[in-house]
Structure 1
Amino acid sequence: MPLFIVAIGVALLLILIIRFKLNGFIALILVALAVGIMQGMPVNEVIRSIKAGVGGTLGSLALIMGFGAMLGKLLADCGGAQRIATTLINKFGHSNIQWAVVLTGFTVGFALFYEVGFVLMLPLVLTIAANARVPLLYVGVPMAAALSVTHGFLPPHPGPTAIATLFHADMGRTLLYGTLLGIPTVILAGPVYTRFLKSIDKPIPEGLYNPKTFTEEEMPGFGASVWTSLVPVILMALRAIAEMSLPKSHPFVAYAEFLGDPVMATLLAVLIAIFTFGLNRGRTMDQITETLVDSIKIIAMMLLIIGGGGAFKQVLVDSGLDKYITSLMEGSNVSPLFMAWSIAAALRIALGSATVAAITAGGIVAPLIASSGASPELMVIAVGSGSVIFSHVNDPGFWLFKEYFNLSIGETMRSWSGLETVIALCGLVGTLLLQCVI
């Protein structure tokens, strides 16, 4: 019955948005209310869940997206994005531009949360698509695939890190196995899967890309453009290295955690960009402020829609749907890797949040490691890959991809939901194959 109610909620959401053209944020809140009441939650608890879901989703994400949008707009308006794009196109050539995006996304994804990396890389993707005259998804899907694989497979991302700790898995081996499986997975979910999306050719969303063609003298140097853009990556990478290699009592760890926090790292990047992309390029503070204000206007509705997705997810969690799914899986006699992947996949489809699905599934299957002798590192990747399968309307990441790439719900399912499913299936097959040789 609970799963049937979720199905009704998803169907209602699609009807409200597609048939009645209702704003996505309002539709998500209405469906969250309806599903919570149908699940038997008291009305006041439903409201509380919705507030908690919006607040929990947007708490740090609003700051990160805000600073990320500012950094991206400063990069675009000074010609820095055009400089990076033209340099990459010249180095890799138009025919290999996807590989440049994959390499950049995989490198960035090691240190950044998915949402942070997505927002920071978006101006680059838009500029490359415009300059190379290729469909937006031709470079957007490889970028998203690279970021999503690192998010699902690799520490120090929240899901894999929490599961590795729960399973007592070795972080180094988890990172090694995750990278070995992640590389072919990114290739299949990115450049290869993009071939099936040629019919989706959307214009670049207005406001997110500066169509002005800058002269050589107007653009900042390639080094300044890249290094300013990578400030958050560098700071968060240092934090991850410090946390994994130094004892917690070491004084450097506290500074690394402070500077490497996603909010602090993106704030510092904006402050540096105000100089490198603004004052140092002869722009006044009034012009810089105008750019910063415009960047927030662009993402305002996106933030609300993503918050609405978080509200829907929280109602599903608070209604006890995860416990219901757990009870359905009890008593099964299948491979521990497949069971771990299946539980994470079921929770992901039902709840929306990959991190919630991964951590919940990790708690369920942890006892299997001792009893079955399964590799804890491969179990981490099995759970992580299962937790990203078929993102749809109850996942804030679905709306992030849809809104930024100006897609319909159907197109988002074909592109974003499809690539996430490819990643999940590759993770399952990869762990089962790797189990045979380690």
Structure 2
Amino acid sequence: MLIITVLSIVLVILGVSLFKWHAFISLTVASLFLAIFSGMSWDKIVLGYETGVGGVMGHLVGILALGTILGKMLAESGGGTSIANYFIKIFGPKMLPWAMFISGFVVGIPVFFEVGILILLPLVISIHHASKKNILLIALPAIAGLSIVHGVIPPHPGAIAAISIYGANLGTVLFYGLIVAIPSGIIAGPLFAQWIHKRVIPVNEPKLIEVEEKDPATIPGPGLSSFVILLPVILLLFGSFASFLTKNAAVQHVFTFIGSPLVALLISVFVAYILLGFRLGNTKDQIRKFTEDSILPVGSIIIIIGAGGAFKQILIDSGVADVISRMAIHLSLSPLILAFVIAVLIRVATGSATVALTTAAGIVAPIVSHMTGVNLELLVIATGAGSLFASHVNDAGFWMVKEYLGLSLKETFKTWTVLESILSVVAFGMVLILNVFV
């Protein structure tokens, strides 16, 4: 059983890296391989796959779509640039790395990593030209802020998927995630940038990114933009801490309802439509186009996460999870370490943080279901930390950073790959420390 499981994981890795299959195809083939060779009856294989997909996707489709729409409204309105400019003005030239880290962290909350790069890099490059400072000192902190939020903070797809697979509490993951993400991002961002920019001086100029110039009068202010970004976070916390905020049962139910991820994001999207859309002169047709444009790219992520849920269900239905679980208990392996290591291995092999997080969660969830005293919220963050480790040539993010910053291959390994590894290890260390106290 264990050999079959290892082979199925290897099949995922080879499918993505060697055969160049889409991650959805790789995960689906691996799930069927695991089901057939573990001895599942033929009539239950497809049913198990469909149950796994439905179990995870029923919870996630709306959340992923709404989160993407919110990020699109921020990008189209110029709100991300507004926030970054504000922090740069407040912190001043000497504190640029810190200003860029905070900009990346805040802007990264509602948007995908790739979108965040496209929002912030034009600003990074313009600051580089104006200040004549090494671009690494400006860019790396912003990228660190974007990356750590992408890895461990909901409502990002990987974190949301892991929360669903593990059955963790979203509000608690958000709270712990912020505790873990801030120091991790500071160490891998401003502090690492201060050290590495003296040792790596890029020879090439960064790639110019053409962006549509916006009339400053039409760009939302930093306060308004920050409010729209943080609104879903505030509503999620209301839902999680409803019982502490009021003793009135009816009010608690209302808080819990508006603090559910789907409703919190739906409210936030309508607020964004009004404050970042209609208020700035966008028509209903323009806003509908923004919405449609933002939803189309989510399809790939949705089917990957669905296939990860199917892999988890096959592990359960085939009985493999029970075998691994008994081994883990017998060997006294910490589920936090197990989740981190599995996510690291899949991340390094496939290059995709989302695939690593989803697959690792699918493998570990059935195992921890037989254990007591496991902090599921920290388990989500440990898995997310592992999914960030050692980005290299099989990761699209690696090439985006290399090309946009004008780095050589060697310089990208020395900066971006090391930054991601620092984020991963420090975040996991924070999880272990938190686990002692909570």
Matched, 1:212 2:212: yes
2:121 maps to which of 113, 129, 134: 129
Whether the 8 Å CA contact 2:87–2:100 is kept in 1: the answer is no
Give the secondary structure class of the aligned counterpart of 2:20: coil
Whether the 8 Å CA contact 2:84–2:103 is kept in 1: the answer is no
Map residues 391-406 of structure 1 onto 2, 5 A cutoff.
391=387
Of 352-361 and 7-16, the range deviating more from structure 2? 352-361
Give the secondary structure class of the aligned counterpart of 2:25: helix
Gaps of 5+ in 2: 126-134, 347-357, 402-412
Map residues 52-131 of structure 1 onto 2, 5 A cutoff.
52-92=51-91, 94-97=96-99, 99-101=101-103, 104=106, 117=109, 119=111, 123-124=115-116, 126-131=118-123
Q: Sort the Cα spacing of 1:383 and 1:331 in 2 relative to 1 into closer, same or farther, 3 A.
A: same
Alignment partners' CA distance in 2, 1:39 and 1:79: 52
Gaps of 5+ in 1: 109-116, 165-170, 367-375
Matched, 1:223 2:223: yes
Matched, 1:265 2:264: yes
Give the secondary structure class of the aligned counterpart of 1:217: helix
Of 10-19 and 127-136, the range deviating more from structure 2? 127-136
Map residues 356-435 of structure 1 onto 2, 5 A cutoff.
357=364, 360-361=367-368, 363-366=370-373, 387-388=383-384, 390-391=386-387, 419-420=423-424, 422-428=426-432, 430=433
- CA drift of 1:291 comes to 1.2
- CA drift of 1:28 comes to 2.0
Please give the per-residue CA displacement for 1:23-61, whole angstroms capped at 9, x wherever unaligned: 332222122111221222223322122212222222232
Whether the 8 Å CA contact 1:385–1:425 is kept in 2: the answer is no
Q: Which residue in the other structure is 2:148 paired with? A: 145
Q: Sort the Cα spacing of 1:407 and 1:18 in 2 relative to 1 into closer, same or farther, 3 A.
A: farther
Q: Sort the Cα spacing of 1:118 and 1:287 in 2 relative to 1 into closer, same or farther, 3 A.
A: closer
Percent identity between the two aligned chains: 25
Please give the per-residue CA displacement for 1:262-282, whole angstroms capped at 9, x wherever unaligned: 111111111111111221111
Please give the per-residue CA displacement for 1:265-310, whole angstroms capped at 9, x wherever unaligned: 1111111111112211112111111111111122222222232233
Whether the 8 Å CA contact 2:342–2:386 is kept in 1: the answer is no
Q: Which residue in the other structure is 2:405 paired with? A: none
- CA drift of 1:427 comes to 3.0
Whether the 8 Å CA contact 1:352–1:392 is kept in 2: the answer is no
Alignment partners' CA distance in 1, 2:44 and 2:294: 35
Alignment partners' CA distance in 2, 1:189 and 1:34: 39
Map residues 299-318 of structure 1 onto 2, 5 A cutoff.
299-318=298-317
- CA drift of 1:321 comes to 2.8
Q: Sort the Cα spacing of 1:130 and 1:286 in 2 relative to 1 into closer, same or farther, 3 A.
A: same
- CA drift of 1:149 comes to 5.2
Aligned residue pair count: 383
Give the secondary structure class of the aligned counterpart of 2:296: helix
- CA drift of 1:245 comes to 4.7
Whether the 8 Å CA contact 2:83–2:103 is kept in 1: the answer is no
Whether the 8 Å CA contact 1:79–1:214 is kept in 2: the answer is yes
Q: Which residue in the other structure is 2:408 paired with? A: none
Q: TM-score, normalised by structure 1?
A: 0.69
Q: Which residue in the other structure is 1:167 paired with? A: none
Alignment partners' CA distance in 2, 1:407 and 1:306: 23
Q: Which residue in the other structure is 1:24 paired with? A: 23
Of 77-86 and 340-349, the range deviating more from structure 2? 340-349
Q: Which residue in the other structure is 1:276 paired with? A: 275
Give the secondary structure class of the aligned counterpart of 2:216: coil
Please give the per-residue CA displacement for 1:65-104, whole angstroms capped at 9, x wherever unaligned: 1111111112211222221222233334532245315764
Q: Sort the Cα spacing of 1:42 and 1:141 in 2 relative to 1 into closer, same or farther, 3 A.
A: farther
Give the secondary structure class of the aligned counterpart of 1:31: helix
Q: CA RMSD in A?
A: 4.7
Whether the 8 Å CA contact 1:54–1:308 is kept in 2: the answer is yes
Of 273-282 and 381-390, the range deviating more from structure 2? 381-390
Q: Which residue in the other structure is 1:241 paired with? A: 241
Q: Which residue in the other structure is 1:371 paired with? A: none
Alignment partners' CA distance in 2, 1:414 and 1:43: 46
